[in-house]
Structure 1
């Protein structure tokens, strides 16, 4: 099976990079998971995530960690980079950013399981580390999401 950008309908990969100046979920793209029968983790770390405080307009900085078990579709990494960059001039609280990212990726891929954590740098002497997850309803991943949420430890 030869992978081609055109076959998958990908627009970002291999094209000149165009950055959106505000929240842009429409830039997210997927491709076919060639191993949907396997359970395996895909992890992305974005150590240079930025967004804006919706009250002060000051920049917030974080490392965003996304880990998921794919089903039929997977997120294309360049489109994910462009999507995360689109938060750069977007004003939302830390917890909102993490939940928006989770919901957009669930809507995009319908993964078996996904979790998103934000390791935000301190503001006013306090760090905020929001965590959100999702497991496909009616499957073992729904239970996995519940168990991981109940035992979540930021040190992992």
Structure 2
């Protein structure tokens, strides 16, 4: 593959990037997700997104929940386009679901979009009622080394918890 940039064919289906009139969804909207071709399918590497302004609603009280969402994945053929991911995550703003469900829904939607080799989604929610909830989920392609990697990372993901001093 060439390293001279992307041609129109490679960017086919990417409609939101550079579009100033993009609308922010007011409901859960997985259909806004867009993908493009990975030009480096011959190697394993991680792509990581840090999303510090995620909000959703508590399904019981309707109160807002705030989190930083970390999404890390190893692409195969397709990659998620970042502006579409931003709009998609924004679509949770009026979505009522528990923290754990939001993380698993995000992961499932990204698997359906990209079919990555490996993916993990970790939400670090600010406390409400004196407790924070930090759900972590991951997935590796079944029958491959990525499935074994997912199991290993799941079993060992929080051996060294970070120092919490800002929430």
SS in 2 for 1:10: coil
Q: What is the CA distance between 1:107 and its match in structure 2?
A: 0.6
1:71 counterpart SS class: coil
User: RMSD value over aligned CA atoms?
Assistant: 1.4
The answer on 1:48 being equivalent to 2:53 is yes
Question: 5+ residue gaps in structure 1?
Answer: none
Give structure 1 regions of 4+ aligned residues with deviation exceeding 6 angstroms: none
**What is the SS of the residue equivalent to 2:92?**
coil
TM-score by length of 2: 0.90
3-state SS of 2:113 partner = helix
User: Is 1:13 aligned to 2:33, yes or no?
Assistant: no
Residues in 2 aligned to 1:23 and 1:14: alpha-carbon distance in whole angstroms? 22
Equivalent residue number for residue 116 of structure 1: 121
Alignment of 1:40-119 (within 5 A): 40-119=45-124
Which residue of structure 1 aligns with residue 165 of structure 2? none
Structure showing greater Rg: 2
State the alpha-carbon separation in 1 of the partners of residues 88 and 157 from structure 2. Answer: 26
Quote the offset at 1:8 in angstroms: 2.0
**Structure 2 gaps, min length 5:** 163-167
Distance 1:5 1:129 in 2: 40
